[in-house]
């Protein structure tokens, strides 16, 4: 068994040094995801490679913050409200059997939440899904992703 350890530069990562999410904010589509929209405090991205269509990541967009507890209560309330709005939109658009919300940050400690639709025929019915089961090797077709992102954007604009 491989011994696991926090990366040697963990304190720097927590502080936001070379943070890849800070670097990606506001830049729109990239190789991993399609931009959906930006709310008051968070940005929404739709993942390109996943076995769970509609899987979005909500990213705190007002500077580097590692923990939701680093936000003041008003900011934190706003963040979770935006996360839940995305969950509501994903649920309406994709009709999953359950929604999961994962706020981890164990690799990139910049506040973000994985908004995961769970499906009847998904890889881990009735329980938590493993990280490797969420992702797919190949991206969904670009046109389909853009249609999905536009639908989510319209639902979030309401």
**Total residues at the site for Zn ion (CB under 5 A)?**
6
Which one of 45, 64, 114, 118 is in contact with Zn ion (CB under 5 A)? 64
**Distance between CA atoms of residues 84 and 90, nearest Å:** 10
Which one of 13, 22, 48, 85 is in contact with Zn ion (CB under 5 A)? 22
Q: Is 112 in the site for Zn ion (CB under 5 A)?
A: no
Q: Is 57 in the site for Zn ion (CB under 5 A)?
A: no
Q: Is 110 in the site for Zn ion (CB under 5 A)?
A: yes
Token couple for 88: 């509501």
Burial of 45 from C-beta contacts in 10 A (0-12 / 13-18 / 19+)? buried
Q: Which of 29, 28, 153 is nearest to 92 (CA)?
A: 153
Q: Which stretch binds Zn ion (CB under 5 A): 33-41, 104-112, 113-121, 122-130?
A: 104-112
Q: Is 19 in the site for Zn ion (CB under 5 A)?
A: yes
The nearer residue to Zn ion, 66 or 136, going by C-beta atoms, is 66
**Distance between CA atoms of residues 47 and 114, nearest Å:** 10
**Residue 115: CA atoms inside 13 Å, Cβ hemisphere, count?**
24
Q: Is 61 in the site for Zn ion (CB under 5 A)?
A: no
- What SS3 state is found at 87? helix
Q: Is 68 in the site for Zn ion (CB under 5 A)?
A: no
Site for Zn ion, rule CB under 5 A? 16, 19, 21-22, 64, 110
């Amino acid at each position: 068994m491989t011994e696991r350890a926090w990366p040697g530069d963990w304190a720097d990562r927590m502080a936001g040094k070379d943070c890849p999410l800070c670097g990606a904010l506001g830049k729109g589509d990239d190789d991993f995801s399609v931009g959906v929209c930006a709310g008051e405090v968070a940005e929404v991205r739709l993942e390109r490679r996943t076995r769970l269509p509609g899987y979005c990541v909500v990213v705190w967009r007002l500077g580097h913050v590692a923990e939701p507890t680093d936000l003041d209560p008003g900011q934190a309330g706003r963040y979770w409200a935006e996360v839940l709005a995305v969950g509501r939109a994903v649920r309406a658009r994709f009709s999953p059997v359950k929604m999961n919300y994962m706020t981890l940050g164990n690799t990139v400690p910049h506040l973000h939440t994985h908004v995961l639709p769970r499906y009847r025929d998904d890889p881990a019915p009735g329980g938590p899904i493993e990280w490797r089961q969420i992702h797919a090797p190949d991206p969904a077709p670009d046109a389909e992703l853009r249609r999905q992102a536009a639908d989510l954007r319209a639902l979030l604009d309401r």
